[in-house]
Chain A
């Protein structure tokens, strides 16, 4: 059956309770349906552009849960992105958001992280660090920067151990590069254990989703073309991501951003086809994993399924399957493991009250299942969950690959 391109929202309301923001606020105007209605009204000049309109539109985690349930197949993402751009241009961004855009855009040009690390700065810009909290997260709970950016600390090509199985590209994303090297180390450890040669292109840069969310499209495009150039010519069976937001960008957003005749479109489409999240890849080659038979006892863990993992790769069930299959893990599911944690890009900063309510609910259920580790495969979720848990909660928040890697036999 042929699909028409221009779908109207039928206002069926099925997206209401799929939306984590609506579920907390329970006011129609923040629902996906209302946002579409307002965007249309704005386009037709029945609702004027205003700072308040901008506020409503940005009360959104860009999590994609609305599109995932929408029977009319509306592409909320692109519509929201475009509207955010218009609103950002007309009404400006808050200073903190501006500085984030600046940092991420500069990521490509100068490699800001390296500089920051040398001068011993933290992730949080100095001006903001004076505040006790950034968004809903106490400053002291923010992660420290990697001593050396991950990509700088590693060779561009890493050779496999044991029997060679093939070659993959690793798109590390900013989070692994600057904050969570433990994730990167585990990814490399697992892949080489499986027999894969891992290529980490030096010229890759920020996926630019955060820039797009805040309407900085021009600056984003510079990064995006750099990434396409970095990835397109390397022969490899997959482009792997450890962050599902980067994955969503490479898989869904990049091909949409180019006009039909743009020289980069074909490359973007080709890359999109090869993009896989690390969890699905591990699952696909699970038989290549050799678990360490000497590990006794089971670590009690639970899992938080990030929105982009659910909505882009549907690999949250795979994570649970792998955890259940691991001899060293006692997996305990929480009833709300698939509910949004409220981290969502910079949402935790812009709407701390809403975000805090969401994350507190999650923490309660994680504590109720009495685990020592809380796994999640999105760095923003990790920052949000870890940032809001207290020491006494006894929860270590990690990417699932870290536990998988730790359970493998040395070869």
Chain B
């Protein structure tokens, strides 16, 4: 709990209803979807940028840590207040300020849920491309802070590619605004790149201008099975290598395929060793042409069964099945760990071989699932955290998987971020000078280190 003086000051800013500090309440802001927990001293719900600025000024004066929070769906511990202090929760600062499809942008407050942006745009025939699996819960503030991606980011790019402008409150309480409503804007540093992926360590996002796109005219979806996982991965490399850019290309191994079949009953071949869910979109004629080329490549790589979704309902069914994979795995053991190492697409087959070798060596089960088109792997290991011996094996396996990815010119995280989960592994992919450079930036803007302390910088 914060002392009475600070508490009174903060309540004056947000009102008593916007300030929580009973133990039953604090406990609920101690976690995200990662495995660690830490209690805050207070949870504050700001409603305006001005309130955020005042809160940061007060926090700065007393040197109290401030950790932003959207929906707490981060899988790397990013919003966990490891140094306690204030959790600044944006779930109630959730207004859509302007929808302007003529000029192709939307302006939102940070607490707006990704799916609500899609809902607001849909009647105009527009969409916002970044589609994290958590889109029904996660907020745009969290999406920007984690630079979130999703299946269709293969073609469309990730959050940073859609942030036209931001309003940010710095640790000092100063309010800065950069970028604009223009798709093209090279006025000064491209500061949005700095804040995308900053995990709440550089500033608090209070408003965002996002680029939106018209929905594609046609969408085609394929479900393809193979009798060899290597062939499956090679088909991905081949298709991307031949210059086609599908909207999404999801790879599943046998274990995952069976898990999906258990829950969705799609009539997939349970003996298949690998499968791909491929989606292309765009102008109808172009889609048809691309589809022909893709099918050619699939056959060259030994595809056994190719099935095209005949209707929107069938298409939804395939995607629902793909999304259910995580859940079905989660049911195999009390806990599940899912990582998101990423490698250049040509290295996908090799990375999969290494993941399987490593997990086998540690006697663990693994489901290999990947946004394969952009090399983003999601190996999932079901295990029991209560079983200390097993959990140690899980940690060792992941540490080797990180090393393998680094070896293959890959990186630690394609979309989940670093947070608490992976800060120890940063040196695998960054030299010390680079880490120091990030620290310098952090120190320059937040000299007292009050913003989300204890994380990767």
A residues near B, CB below 8 A? Answer: 1, 3-4, 6-8, 10-14, 16-18, 26-29, 31, 34, 37-38, 41, 46-48, 50, 52-53, 56, 70-73
Q: List 25 A-B contacts (CB under 8 A).
A: A1-B331, A3-B332, A4-B331, A7-B331, A8-B334, A11-B33, A12-B330, A13-B71, A13-B72, A14-B134, A14-B137, A17-B113, A17-B115, A26-B94, A26-B111, A27-B45, A28-B72, A28-B89, A38-B24, A38-B28, A47-B24, A56-B24, A71-B324, A71-B326, A71-B328
Bound CA span A13–B258, Å: 25
Bound CA span A56–B23, Å: 12
Bound CA span A56–B27, Å: 12
**A residues within 8 A CB of B34?**
11
**A residues within 8 A CB of B430?**
none
Q: How far is the CB of A318 from chain B (nearest CB, A)?
A: 16
**Size band of the interface chain B makes with A:** 35 or more
Q: How far is the CB of B32 from chain A (nearest CB, A)?
A: 7
The answer to whether B398 has its CB under 8 Å from any CB of chain A is no
How many A-B pairs have beta carbons closer than 8 Å: the answer is: 103
B24 and A10 within 8 A (CB)? no
**B residues within 8 A CB of A73?**
327, 330-331
B73 and A34 within 8 A (CB)? no
Bound CA span A34–B27, Å: 8
Q: Mark B1-41, 1 if CB is under 8 A from A, else 0.
A: 00000000000000000001011110111011110000000
Q: Mark B326-343, 1 if CB is under 8 A from A, else 0.
A: 111011111110000000
The answer to whether B53 has its CB under 8 Å from any CB of chain A is no
**B residues within 8 A CB of A27?**
20, 45, 89, 91-92
The answer to whether B206 has its CB under 8 Å from any CB of chain A is no
Q: How far is the CB of A70 from chain B (nearest CB, A)?
A: 8
Given A8-B335, A13-B73, 5 additional A-B pairs, CB 8 A? A4-B333, A4-B334, A10-B330, A38-B28, A47-B24
- The winner among A13, A31, A34, A56 for most chain B CB atoms within 10 A is A13
Q: Mark B116-141, 1 if CB is under 8 A from A, else 0.
A: 00000000000000000010111000
Also in contact, A26 and B92, with CB within 8 A (given A14-B137, A56-B24): yes
A52 and B138 within 8 A (CB)? no
Within residues 238 to 279 of chain B, which ones have a CB less than 8 A from any CB in chain A?
258-259, 262
Please give me the residue from chain A that is nearest to B386 by CB atom.
A8
**B residues within 8 A CB of A56?**
24
B136 and A14 within 8 A (CB)? yes
Bound CA span A218–B180, Å: 64
B27 and A47 within 8 A (CB)? yes
Bound CA span A37–B427, Å: 35
Bound CA span A17–B118, Å: 15
**B residues within 8 A CB of A7?**
330-331, 334
**B residues within 8 A CB of A34?**
27-28
A29 and B33 within 8 A (CB)? no
**A residues within 8 A CB of B134?**
12-14
A13 and B137 within 8 A (CB)? yes
Bound CA span A88–B204, Å: 42
**B residues within 8 A CB of A6?**
334
Q: How far is the CB of B325 from chain A (nearest CB, A)?
A: 9
Q: How far is the CB of B233 from chain A (nearest CB, A)?
A: 24
Q: How far is the CB of B23 from chain A (nearest CB, A)?
A: 6
B327 and A17 within 8 A (CB)? no
Bound CA span A70–B326, Å: 11
- The winner among B27, B92, B262, B326 for most chain A CB atoms within 10 A is B27
Within residues 205 to 256 of chain B, which ones have a CB less than 8 A from any CB in chain A?
none
Please give me the residue from chain B that is nearest to A56 by CB atom.
B24
B330 and A53 within 8 A (CB)? no
Bound CA span A194–B32, Å: 54
**B residues within 8 A CB of A8?**
334-335, 385
A71 and B330 within 8 A (CB)? yes
B24 and A52 within 8 A (CB)? yes
Within residues 100 to 122 of chain B, which ones have a CB less than 8 A from any CB in chain A?
111, 113, 115
**B residues within 8 A CB of A52?**
22, 24
Bound CA span A63–B89, Å: 26
B23 and A47 within 8 A (CB)? yes
**B residues within 8 A CB of A1?**
258-259, 262, 328, 331-332
**B residues within 8 A CB of A17?**
113, 115, 136-137
Also in contact, A38 and B27, with CB within 8 A (given A26-B91, A26-B94): yes
**B residues within 8 A CB of A26?**
91-92, 94, 111
**A residues within 8 A CB of B23?**
47-48
Bound CA span A14–B91, Å: 15
**A residues within 8 A CB of B138?**
13
Q: How far is the CB of B142 from chain A (nearest CB, A)?
A: 10
Also in contact, A4 and B332, with CB within 8 A (given A13-B72, A14-B137, A50-B24): yes
**A residues within 8 A CB of B136?**
14, 17-18
Please give me the residue from chain B that is nearest to A41 by CB atom.
B27
**B residues within 8 A CB of A10?**
33, 330, 335-336
Q: How far is the CB of B140 from chain A (nearest CB, A)?
A: 14
Bound CA span A29–B72, Å: 12
A29 and B25 within 8 A (CB)? yes
**A residues within 8 A CB of B262?**
1
A11 and B32 within 8 A (CB)? yes
Please give me the residue from chain A that is nearest to B23 by CB atom.
A47
Q: How far is the CB of A13 from chain B (nearest CB, A)?
A: 4
Bound CA span A53–B137, Å: 25
Bound CA span A153–B375, Å: 69
Please give me the residue from chain A that is nearest to B45 by CB atom.
A27
Bound CA span A266–B91, Å: 47
Bound CA span A4–B20, Å: 37
Also in contact, A3 and B31, with CB within 8 A (given A13-B137, A71-B326): no
**A residues within 8 A CB of B91?**
26-28
Bound CA span A237–B326, Å: 38
Bound CA span A29–B43, Å: 11
- The winner among B20, B94, B137 for most chain A CB atoms within 10 A is B137
Within residues 282 to 327 of chain B, which ones have a CB less than 8 A from any CB in chain A?
324, 326-327
Please give me the residue from chain A that is nearest to B31 by CB atom.
A11
A28 and B24 within 8 A (CB)? no
Bound CA span A72–B72, Å: 17
Within residues 46 to 100 of chain B, which ones have a CB less than 8 A from any CB in chain A?
71-73, 89, 91-92, 94
**B residues within 8 A CB of A38?**
24, 27-28
Bound CA span A4–B331, Å: 7
Bound CA span A26–B17, Å: 13
- The winner among A10, A41, A52, A73 for most chain B CB atoms within 10 A is A10
**B residues within 8 A CB of A72?**
327, 330-331
**B residues within 8 A CB of A4?**
331-334
Also in contact, A3 and B335, with CB within 8 A (given A13-B71, A28-B72): no
**A residues within 8 A CB of B328?**
1, 71
**A residues within 8 A CB of B33?**
10-13
Please pick, from A16, A41, A47, A53, the residue contacting B71 in the complex, using a CB distance under 8 A: A16
Q: How far is the CB of A62 from chain B (nearest CB, A)?
A: 19
Please give me the residue from chain A that is nearest to B323 by CB atom.
A71
**A residues within 8 A CB of B27?**
34, 37-38, 41, 46-47
Bound CA span A345–B22, Å: 28
Please give me the residue from chain A that is nearest to B336 by CB atom.
A10
**A residues within 8 A CB of B333?**
4
Please give me the residue from chain A that is nearest to B32 by CB atom.
A11
Bound CA span A48–B22, Å: 12
Please give me the residue from chain B that is nearest to A2 by CB atom.
B332
Bound CA span A26–B70, Å: 10
Bound CA span A46–B115, Å: 35
Q: How far is the CB of A67 from chain B (nearest CB, A)?
A: 12
Bound CA span A56–B24, Å: 9
Please give me the residue from chain A that is nearest to B116 by CB atom.
A17
Bound CA span A13–B73, Å: 6
Also in contact, A71 and B32, with CB within 8 A (given A12-B73, A13-B71, A27-B45): no
